[in-house]
Structure 1
Amino acid sequence: MIEVVYIVRHGYRANWTVNPTTGEYNSTILSETKIPTDPPLSSYGVRQAEELAEHLCNINPPIDVIYSSPFYRCLQTLKPTIEKLFEEGRAGGKIRVERGLGEFYGRAPFAHPSPANTLKLSKFFPNLDLEYESLLTPPPNGEMIRDLHERVANALNLVIASLDSDPAGPKTMLICTHAATMIAIGRALTGNVPDNFNEDDFKCYTASLSTFARRGDAEGVLGNWECVGNAETGYLSGGEERGWKFNGEENFSTDPDPIDERQAPKL
């Protein structure tokens, strides 16, 4: 069974803009995927990724398997880590790209840009598992905050359950993701979902690391983990940077909704 889950947020990235009426996205700095919402890390983010790698390559217990959001900035953040781990024959040798653990976009009357598929990403990141298929895909028109929490909980349940039954017997996994998703992961694993999503509980600084340990031999996934490290940054020369929390600003939809998006779902 998986005993430890490591979660990291991608490093400092380039920005984009969006017209909330038309859904047109623009970015002055594009990654190799050429998708406006898929910018690369900034030069500072690249340095953060290198500092993160130094920490992750020496972490205990060591990493057995690696999952990533499909966005370029997450894979770029993992690059210096996997270059060393995979060269040494550690961490499984492949990254599994899981869309269910990807970025959060607020619900909108338009479709948000989709990330590049694994085959295209493999041209820039050759260590991707081309046989792995995402277990869950976010809706193209975005999500309410409660939908994100449900999506992340479902994705975690599927991913960890599959690893628990893996004959190779991995004990630890690493996930590289985004701010909102990182918070939702902490809530799903611990079962500590606040009544108001705006509560500032799980942190998510750029290139930070959160660690969750399974409670004994607990069966099932959701709610059976203890947070033993909340967005740690001691290995980063810049420390805690670009913290983020929910405040409802991501919702593009003007349609009335009978359910308060800040109200926690039942996971």
Structure 2
Amino acid sequence: MTEQDLGVYATQRIQQALKVSAEAARLFNLVRHNYTLLIPILNYHYRSLDTPSSTPRMLDTIYIVRHGFRSNWVVSNDGTYNATIKSPTGIPSDPPLTSYGVDQARQLGVHLASLDIKPQQIYSSPYYRCLQTSAPIATELGLGIEGVEGGIAEWFGTAPFDHPLPATAELLKTFFPNLNADYTPIIIPAVRGETMAQVHNRAAYALTRLVEYVDKTHPEVRAIVLVSHAATVIAAGRALVGDPDMDVGAGTCSCSVYKRNDPNSSPVWIDVDGKEVQGTGTVDLNKGPVPVLPWRGKGILGGWTRERNGDCSFLSGGEERNWWFGGDEAWDFPIAKGTGVEKTLGTETSGSRGPGGDEIAGKGESAKI
């Protein structure tokens, strides 16, 4: 955040805090020329207002990007995973980027660093290819990686066998030293996968929790970037806007931008049935799905407006390997070899979702979401 941005933010806080607390006024006079010291003081006193919902939020911009071009792997219909190139984590479903994908990630990092509103925090899926994509972004922005979040992890279709879980933050930190391994994730991924509806609800819940976390613990942060996977990139965008049918570009290293409609919005932890739900702690999807928040039609936290959709204009190769949902991707029938929505005779399928593969060749029906 620039000094000018700090000044604008401090001025907003001053106008409110001085009305509430004489102590805030006294402290302001002591540190009025040091915005770094001033802002926490004003935040503290401003929270004593009778209407917490009126507290200004700084986080108003979310960049959602997909990882770069990766190496391949295959999975048989009994759940046996094999990677074309061995992953540094030793997990077959956790392939690294190709050299081309590394170049894409560098171009993405340069692009994000060139923006007027730059991301101030980076949250990554716990899969290696997303950390590889996050690393050059962090370098270009001069940041660390704030944490690995299971809420924006890969989508695997429901299956009668266990999908491999991603590596732990502690292991990933040995490869990415600037990763904050102390971050507590909101979601623990499900080993038996999720339905299409569940991944959308997971994204809605995780993003609601994440925005609230940033609002409360980092009020100085205006923009964050989430590094994720095609299916989750789509689900997250739909959850923010509130449109379960919205077409979301998800090419490798694509960048979508979402702006918060109401910076004063706060989460209401009531599900679609009107019941109070869990809004704290880590949710383990292996013990049950996330609470279903009423995001459809309104979006989370008052809704968001998409300003850019899957932008790849800054990449030398343009848009590549775009992806769409092509069905519910459940392993509930004998799996045949093929990718996309095609199912032909054989024994294996490539990709990362389920029988639909990684880059589905056609746009699927989302009415079931």
In the alignment of these two chains, the number of paired residues is: 249
Name 2:109's counterpart in structure 1: 53
2:87 aligned to which of 14, 31, 34:
31
| 1:143 to 2:189 alignment | no
Name 2:157's counterpart in structure 1: 106
Q: Would the aligned equivalents of 2:244 and 2:366 in 1 still touch at CA under 8 Å?
A: no
Shift of 1:168: 4.2
Q: Which has the larger radius of gyration?
A: 2
Relative to 1, partners in 2 of residues 1:151 and 1:123: Cα closer, same or farther, differing over 3 Å? Answer: same
| 1:210 to 2:256 alignment | yes
1:132 aligned to which of 179, 183, 198:
183
1:71 aligned to which of 110, 115, 127:
127
RMSD (CA atoms)? 1.8
**Secondary structure at the counterpart of residue 128 of structure 1:** coil
**Secondary structure at the counterpart of residue 32 of structure 1:** coil
Name 2:295's counterpart in structure 1: none
2:321 aligned to which of 242, 251, 260:
242
**Paired AA for residue 14 in structure 1:** S
Shift of 1:167: 4.6
Mean Cα deviation higher: 50-59 or 235-244: 50-59
| 1:232 to 2:289 alignment | no
Name 1:191's counterpart in structure 2: 242
Relative to 1, partners in 2 of residues 1:106 and 1:11: Cα closer, same or farther, differing over 3 Å? Answer: same
Q: Would the aligned equivalents of 2:173 and 2:179 in 1 still touch at CA under 8 Å?
A: yes
Q: TM-score, normalised to structure 2's length?
A: 0.65
Q: Would the aligned equivalents of 2:122 and 2:134 in 1 still touch at CA under 8 Å?
A: no
Residues in 2 aligned to 1:244 and 1:149: alpha-carbon distance in whole angstroms: 16
Shift of 1:94: 3.4
Q: Would the aligned equivalents of 1:103 and 1:180 in 2 still touch at CA under 8 Å?
A: yes
Moved over 4 A (4+): none
**Secondary structure at the counterpart of residue 123 of structure 2:** strand
Q: Would the aligned equivalents of 2:124 and 2:145 in 1 still touch at CA under 8 Å?
A: no
- 1:114-193 alignment, distance < 5 Å: 114-193=165-244
Residues in 2 aligned to 1:103 and 1:264: alpha-carbon distance in whole angstroms: 20
Name 2:118's counterpart in structure 1: 62
**Paired AA for residue 112 in structure 2:** L
Relative to 1, partners in 2 of residues 1:116 and 1:5: Cα closer, same or farther, differing over 3 Å? Answer: same
| 1:15 to 2:69 alignment | no
Residues in 2 aligned to 1:234 and 1:137: alpha-carbon distance in whole angstroms: 34
**Secondary structure at the counterpart of residue 140 of structure 2:** helix
Shift of 1:52: 0.9
Q: Would the aligned equivalents of 1:138 and 1:151 in 2 still touch at CA under 8 Å?
A: no
Residues in 1 aligned to 2:331 and 2:137: alpha-carbon distance in whole angstroms: 36
Deviations 1:224-250 (A, max 9, x none): 100000010111010011010001263
Residues in 2 aligned to 1:148 and 1:136: alpha-carbon distance in whole angstroms: 12
**Secondary structure at the counterpart of residue 205 of structure 2:** helix
Residues in 2 aligned to 1:159 and 1:167: alpha-carbon distance in whole angstroms: 11
**Secondary structure at the counterpart of residue 123 of structure 1:** helix
**Paired AA for residue 253 in structure 2:** A
Q: TM-score, normalised to structure 1's length?
A: 0.89
Relative to 1, partners in 2 of residues 1:238 and 1:213: Cα closer, same or farther, differing over 3 Å? Answer: same
Gaps of at least 5 residues in structure 2 are 1-56, 268-299, 335-364
Residues in 2 aligned to 1:237 and 1:167: alpha-carbon distance in whole angstroms: 35
Shift of 1:58: 1.5
Mean Cα deviation higher: 180-189 or 125-134: 125-134
Gaps of at least 5 residues in structure 1 are 195-199, 256-260
Shift of 1:218: 4.7
Shift of 1:98: 0.2
Which has a greater percent of helix?
A: 2
Name 2:61's counterpart in structure 1: 4
The sequence identity of aligned pairs, in percent, is 42
**Paired AA for residue 7 in structure 1:** I
